Structure 1
Amino acid sequence: MGGTEHLAVRREGATLVLTLNRPEARNALSLPMLVGLYDGWLAADEDDGIRSIVLTGAGGAFCAGMDLKALAGKGMAGEQYRDRLKADPDLHWKAMLRHHRPRKPVIAAVEGHCVAGGTEILQGTDIRVAGESATFGLYEVRRGLFPIGGSTVRLARQVPRTHALEMLLTGRPYTAREAERIGLVGSVVPEGTALDRALEIAELVNANGPLAVEAVKASVYESADLTETEGLRRELERGWPIFDTADAKEGSRAFAEKRAPVYRRA
């Protein structure tokens, strides 16, 4: 279903798995990959049967950042996608989760290199699992560049500012354990098992009421820039309607009857 030559798409039950699929270049971002990513985010949001998304990389790497030559569409790898980028000049930012937030939870499964643009995409995901040998970092300043994928805004909101600034200003690599320690990833698992763990987490998400899950995610993000008072007000606006849904009644009924709930997004 869907995908491009650099972005593989498959279903695992109620989970849509998007795989960055350019292993010969450590899954460096290309125009076909970005088009596939954006289409994948949209497909997940439009399909009520999909309750979660897992983002991972092929060949033992997550993403080594942007391939500027490929993004320019030079050569066969990107030629047929130039019209997409021309029609929507913001497409690459949406693909990288800078200007688009899927309403379904996005779980990152990271192995190997997750640097530069890879670390920037990571900041747009919701739950993050890393293999023991994963490497993170924002290398842009080492090349005299700027991490314009959102890191100077997002990173200090996701990890303590001192750690954000050290990562941004030194451009040094970070091990998976360091990334876990500062809070960039939630857990570290044995090498080669990040995808398995991400799919396990996705199954836990999928078992819950989808309307509740999506409302909780939306509430967390929309309240991030509000005062506590305003955030609590908005939480009630998001939360109270959930109690009136058929799914909420089904959840309570299933609990009383000691059975698994059957949610219908109603």
Structure 2
Amino acid sequence: MAGTEHLTVRREGATLVLTLDRPEARNALSLPMLVGLYDGWIEADTDDDVRSVVLTGTGGAFCAGMDLKALAGDGMAGQRYRDRLKADPDLHWKAMLRHHRPRKPVIAAVEGYCVAGGTEILQGTDIRVAGESATFGLFEVRRGLFPIGGSTVRLPRQIPRTHALEMLLTGRPYSAREAAAIGLVGHVVPDGTALTKALEIAEQINACAPLAVEAVKASVYETAGMTEAEGLAAELERGWPVFDTADAEEGARAFAEKRPPVYKRA
């Protein structure tokens, strides 16, 4: 499995768990973390045994955004990661889910700080769970910066524009309850249980037919910018082939036989 000193990877059944692991810096982004994230997304995409991904952080935080000092790199390790970035100048944007969309569902499990670049990565995930004490926000304008990780484009498409603009233009922090009220996260759970809840959701997804799950996710994103007529036509192109799969037959057969289905991605 992939992984670096700032990004750990493990399996929970059919779920790949990616953990931002730099607790001394509230999991601020570093080159090793970005490289590990990118490799993790690629592993999830290419391994058919992986049916879902959970992204979380260690040490009671999700991600406090960019760490410019760490991104500069130092010594042999820093140079090694800089070589990866040089080979693919888009790697950091892919790692942050700005220029890459995993084909498997991605569930965010947020505890503590999820601000700046953390909130930007969050917008690239599909389902979001937050602990009660989690904090969200895009602080860039308060520092004379621009949230260039995609927030001026994605956030107004994910939550009402008035809330998106308030978050972007004030740079203020948002509580987990407020984030849920505006639709940025879907679940607020007791502190320390976000990962447990995310894994529960992942298990529900894993029990479904993987080809159907991936086709549904692809259709939702592909049709987002289309007119209704265009979207409905594109949906048929994505959806009809699913009915011709062996997994579709297995789903119907299992239902008739009153047993759990056994899907084989076929």
TM-score range, shorter chain: over 0.9
Check conservation: 1:247, 1:265, Cα contact below 8 A. yes
**Structure 2 letter corresponding to 1:235:** E
**2:160 equivalent to 1:160:** yes
Deviation of the 1:74 alpha carbon: 3.2
Residue-by-residue CA offset, 1:64-112 (whole Å, 9 max, x unaligned): 0001111122346623211100000000000000000000000000000
Q: Say if 1:113 and 1:97 are closer, same or farther in 2 by CA, change over 3 A.
A: same
Rounded to whole Å, the distance in 2 between the matches of 1:79 and 1:6 is 15
The aligned runs of 1:241-252 (5 Å cut-off) are 241-252=241-252
Residue 196 of structure 1 is matched in structure 2 by 196
Rounded to whole Å, the distance in 2 between the matches of 1:263 and 1:33 is 34
Rounded to whole Å, the distance in 2 between the matches of 1:204 and 1:7 is 25
Check conservation: 1:109, 1:194, Cα contact below 8 A. yes
Residue-by-residue CA offset, 1:96-147 (whole Å, 9 max, x unaligned): 0000000000000000000000000000000000000000000000000000
**2:98 equivalent to 1:90:** no
Residue 43 of structure 1 is matched in structure 2 by 43
Aligned length: 266
Rounded to whole Å, the distance in 2 between the matches of 1:77 and 1:147 is 28
Residue 116 of structure 2 is matched in structure 1 by 116
Check conservation: 1:15, 1:202, Cα contact below 8 A. yes
CA RMSD of aligned residues (A): 0.7
Residue 14 of structure 2 is matched in structure 1 by 14
TM-score, scaled to structure 1: 0.99
**Structure 2 letter corresponding to 1:139:** F
Check conservation: 1:35, 1:91, Cα contact below 8 A. yes
The aligned runs of 1:173-192 (5 Å cut-off) are 173-192=173-192
Residue 27 of structure 2 is matched in structure 1 by 27
Residue-by-residue CA offset, 1:37-58 (whole Å, 9 max, x unaligned): 0000000110000000000000
Residue 135 of structure 2 is matched in structure 1 by 135
- What is the percentage of aligned positions where both structures have the same residue? 85
Unaligned runs of 5+ in 1: none
Check conservation: 1:30, 1:78, Cα contact below 8 A. no
Residue-by-residue CA offset, 1:152-209 (whole Å, 9 max, x unaligned): 0000000000000000000000000000000000010000000000000000000000
Rounded to whole Å, the distance in 1 between the matches of 2:77 and 2:197 is 32
Rounded to whole Å, the distance in 2 between the matches of 1:107 and 1:60 is 17
TM-score, scaled to structure 2: 0.99
Residue 4 of structure 1 is matched in structure 2 by 4
The aligned runs of 1:161-240 (5 Å cut-off) are 161-240=161-240
Rounded to whole Å, the distance in 2 between the matches of 1:191 and 1:148 is 30
Unaligned runs of 5+ in 2: none
- Aligned with 1:11: secondary structure? strand
